[in-house]
Structure 1
Amino acid sequence: MPCLYITTNVNMEGVDTDPFYLEVTKAVASIVGRPQNLVMVVLKGSIEIVFGGNKEAAAYAEIVSMGGITKQVKRQLIATVGSILHSHFSINPTRFILKVFDMQALPLPSKL
């Protein structure tokens, strides 16, 4: 179950976020190879973020998935989510950071 958690300094008050949720959920499901009904998206706006010394529109996101993450998937997620944030909230992709975390890549604890 992939979970995409996004924080941004963009004010979301009065913004219709439904089209964003629909587009980003569909994109994550397609890229990671999971059904849309298993993708969770959390969006928190109006968070204080300073990036590059200024408060222009920026976003930080984390995606956690249980498998399905390769180098190519990481690149595609960064490009696609960055593009979606730009088209919906005018966040320049150069002011967006995505941390990708694959739970399945973790080593299993030792039985010793």
Structure 2
Amino acid sequence: MPYLKIQTNLPLSKKAERAVLKNASQLIAELLGKPESFVMVALQADTPMLFAGSDDPLAFLELKSIGLPAQRTKDLSEALCQMIEGHLGVPCDRIYVKFIDVKRGMWGWKGDTF
């Protein structure tokens, strides 16, 4: 049920997109202690975006999950920023991360909810 959406203004090759998606999926599963079979990751590259009035490389990440622990958001932010910086070269001070804890009844799957 974890869902990570990554938006960046950088154009990426298909190979780079696959590498980011695969690494992000594994990282989210590991960080949240969830089976990777429940993790969904989306990547929107080459998105027109500005941060601090500049179109220098940037990224916006949104992580949604059931039971997202508020006390772990600092660690999650650090790990996600390091992953994006490592794969895309976007400096951590050009990355925002939004965390959303979703109630079980507000997350649907297979025609039901969790």
Post-superposition shift, 1:71?
Answer: 3.0
Tell whether the 8 Å contact from 1:32 to 1:73 is kept in structure 2 after alignment.
Answer: no
Post-superposition shift, 1:59?
Answer: 0.6
Query: 1: CA distance between counterparts of 2:6 and 2:42?
Result: 6
Higher Cα Rg, which structure: 1
Post-superposition shift, 1:15?
Answer: 4.6
Query: 2: CA distance between counterparts of 1:14 and 1:104?
Result: 34
Post-superposition shift, 1:31?
Answer: 1.2
What is residue 66 of structure 1 aligned with on the other side? 66
What is residue 39 of structure 1 aligned with on the other side? 39
| Structure 1, unaligned runs of 5 or more | 107-112
Secondary structure of 2:103's match?
helix
What is residue 85 of structure 1 aligned with on the other side? 84
RMSD: 1.8
Deviating beyond 6 angstroms after TM superposition, the runs of 4 or more aligned structure 1 residues are none
What is residue 52 of structure 2 aligned with on the other side? 52
TM-score by length of 1: 0.85
Query: 1: CA distance between counterparts of 2:50 and 2:91?
Result: 14
Amino acid at match of 1:99: K
Q: How many residues in Structure 1 have an aligned counterpart in Structure 2?
A: 105
Secondary structure of 2:46's match?
coil
What is residue 112 of structure 2 aligned with on the other side? none
Query: 1: CA distance between counterparts of 2:79 and 2:24?
Result: 8
Query: 1: CA distance between counterparts of 2:27 and 2:16?
Result: 19
What is residue 102 of structure 2 aligned with on the other side? 103
| Structure 2, unaligned runs of 5 or more | 106-114
Query: 1: CA distance between counterparts of 2:42 and 2:14?
Result: 17
1 or 2, which has the higher strand percentage? 2
Tell whether the 8 Å contact from 2:17 to 2:43 is kept in structure 1 after alignment.
Answer: no
Deviations 1:29-86 (CA, angstroms, capped at 9, x unpaired): 111121011110000011111111110000111111011x223321122111111111
TM-score by length of 2: 0.83
